[in-house]
Amino acid sequence: MMRPKVAMIGGGSWATAVIKMLSDNLTEKDIYWWLRDTEVIEHLKKYKHNPKYLSSVEIRIPESHISDQLPAILEPVDYVILNVPAAFLKESLRGVTPEMLAGKKIVSAIKGIVPDENQIIGEFMQEKYGIPKEDLIVISGPCHAEEVALEKLSYLTISSVTLEYAVEFSKLLNTRYIKTNVSDDIYGTEYAAVLKNIYAVASGICHGLGYGDNFQAVLISNAVREMKDFVDAVHPIDRDIKESAYLGDLLVTAYSQFSRNRTFGNMIGKGYTVKSAQLEMNMIAEGYYATACMHVINKKYKVDMPISRAVYAILYEKNSPQIEMRLLTEKLI
Ligand X SMILES: NC(=O)C1=CN([C@@H]2O[C@H](COP(=O)(O)OP(=O)(O)OC[C@H]3O[C@@H](n4cnc5c(N)ncnc54)[C@H](OP(=O)(O)O)[C@@H]3O)[C@@H](O)[C@H]2O)C=CC1
Q: Alpha-carbon distance 169 to 268, whole Å?
A: 38
Part in contact with ligand X (CB under 6 A); list of ranges 110-118, 203-211, 214-222, 262-270: 110-118
Q: Alpha-carbon distance 275 to 52, whole Å?
A: 21
Q: Alpha-carbon distance 253 to 142, whole Å?
A: 8
Q: Alpha-carbon distance 236 to 239, whole Å?
A: 8
Cβ nearer to ligand 13P, comparing 61 with 267: 267
Contacts with ligand X, 83-102, as mask; x by CB under 6 A: xxxx-x--xx----------
Q: How do strand 66-67 and strand 79-82 relate by DSSP bridges?
A: unpaired
Q: Which residues of 19-56 are buried (b: 16+ CB within 10 A; e: fewer)?
A: bbbbebbeeebebbbbbeeeebbebbeeeebbebbbee
DSSP character string of 60-117: ---GGGEES-HHHHHTT-SEEEE-S-GGGHHHHTTT--HHHHTT-EEEE---SEETTT
Contacts with ligand X, 8-47, as mask; x by CB under 6 A: --xxxxxx--------------------xx----------
Contacts with ligand X, 276-305, as mask; x by CB under 6 A: -------xx-x-------------------
196 is a catalytic site residue: yes
Part in contact with ligand 13P (CB under 6 A); list of ranges 39-47, 74-82, 117-125, 141-149: 141-149
Burial of 133 (0-12, 13-18, 19+ CB in 10 A): middle
User: Is 34 among the annotated ligand-binding positions?
Assistant: no
Contacts with ligand 13P, 245-284, as mask; x by CB under 6 A: ----x--xx--x-xxxx-----------------------
Q: Which of 196, 242, 299, 300 is catalytic?
A: 196
Cβ nearer to ligand X, comparing 121 with 328: 121
Is residue 180 within the footprint of ligand X (CB under 6 A)? no
Site for ligand X (CB under 6 A): which residue of 73, 138, 143, 251? Answer: 143
Site for ligand 13P in 192-221 (CB under 6 A): 197, 200
Site for ligand X (CB under 6 A): which residue of 49, 52, 179, 225? Answer: 52
What separation in angstroms does the CA of 11 have from each of 92, 105, 119, 276? Answer: 11, 20, 23, 23
Is residue 179 within the footprint of ligand X (CB under 6 A)? no
Sequence-ordered list of residues with C-beta below 8 angstroms from that of 126, at least 6 positions apart, any chain: 132, 133, 136
Look at residue 85 and give the partner it binds from ligand X, ligand 13P, none, a contact being a CB closer than 5 to 8 Å depending on partner kind. Answer: ligand X
Q: Which amino acid would we find at residue 7?
A: A
Part in contact with ligand X (CB under 6 A); list of ranges 141-149, 165-173, 209-217, 305-313: 141-149
Q: How do strand 79-82 and strand 5-9 relate by DSSP bridges?
A: parallel
Is residue 81 within the footprint of ligand X (CB under 6 A)? no
Q: Alpha-carbon distance 301 to 118, whole Å?
A: 13
Q: Report residue 332 CA to chain centroid gap.
A: 27
Look at residue 117 and give the partner it binds from ligand X, ligand 13P, none, a contact being a CB closer than 5 to 8 Å depending on partner kind. Answer: none
The minimum distance between CB 330 and ligand X, in angstroms, equals 31
Binding site for ligand 13P (CB under 6 A): 111, 142-144, 197, 200, 249, 252-253, 256, 258-261
Residues annotated as catalytic are: 196
Cite the annotated binding site for NAD(+) by residue number: 88, 145, 260
Binding site for ligand X (CB under 6 A): 10-15, 36-37, 52-53, 83-86, 88, 91-92, 109-112, 143-145, 283-284, 286
